[in-house]
Amino acid sequence: MFYYLTGELVHVGENLAVIDCGGVGFRLTVSATTLSLLPRTTGKGNIVRLYTHLAVREDALDLYGFYTKEELDLFRMLTNISGIGPKVAISVLSLLTPDALAEAVASQNVKLISRAPGVGMKTAQRIVLELSGKLAPIVSPATGVNVGTQSSASMSSSMSEALDALVVLGYSRQEAQKAIRAVPDATEKSTEELIKAALSHLL
């Protein structure tokens, strides 16, 4: 029904963004990844565009918003998997950016995917099984690299923990991930070492 919405960002909350389009406020459920890419302030001419998906239920119409087309595509792929609904898909995409999820699937990192709230090991295994070989077309907007084939560059547990710590410090997931990727031999370093090295790139 809606491909995308463009308007003034008037409100943000936990997994929530409201966009004013011609005087109509559209409430969209969004991932933490999309939230991190939205302007830090609302109103005052902060115009944003979010790609959308309308989920139709018997008792409600739920609108979901995504900062990139890649994230929207992954959301739809996730919800097409048996047993995974929109809430679980948003949970996965809040934990992992599209390129990080593609890498996790390529490297069969079930443990990382299972860290998303509401996702157990069996669900994570199903995600890896269903999405394997289907994410090659997804390209990172930041690097232009086809991340679907970069299994050797997948995030270790220490890299993932460092990413979460940098987000808590106020950096966007995209900024934090880029800084961690810039650390030499990142997969071999501890969480503390990664945080210190990544901060040197960010400051």
Q: Which CATH number does the domain housing residue 105 bear?
A: 1.10.150.20
CATH of the domain at 195: 1.10.8
Average pLDDT, the chain: 83
Q: What pLDDT, in 10s, does the model give residues 31-68?
A: 998 988 888 778 777 889 999 999 887 777 899 999 99
- What is the predicted pLDDT for the residue at 144? 40
Q: DSSP assignment, residue 45? A: T
Residues 82 and 104 in one domain: yes
Strand 24-30 relative to strand 61-66, pairing: parallel
Number of domains in the chain: 3
Q: What pLDDT, in 10s, does the model give residues 123-156?
A: 999 999 999 888 765 544 443 434 333 333 345 6
Residues 114 and 160 in one domain: no
Q: DSSP assignment, residue 155? A: P
Residues 93 and 134 in one domain: yes
- What is the predicted pLDDT for the residue at 143? 37
CATH of the domain at 23: 2.40.50.140
Which of 66, 81, 109 is where one domain is finished?
Answer: 66
Model pTM above 0.85? no
Residues 134 and 95 in one domain: yes
Q: What pLDDT, in 10s, does the model give residues 170-195?
A: 777 777 877 887 888 777 788 888 88
Which tokens go with 11? 């409100």
Range of the domain at 49: 4-66
Which of 44, 66, 88 is where one domain is finished?
Answer: 66
Using alpha carbons, select from 91, 80, 10 the residue that is nearest to residue 50. Answer: 10
Residue range 3-11: mean pLDDT, rounded: 91
Mapping DSSP to helix (H, G, I), strand (E, B) and coil, where does residue 75 land?
A: helix
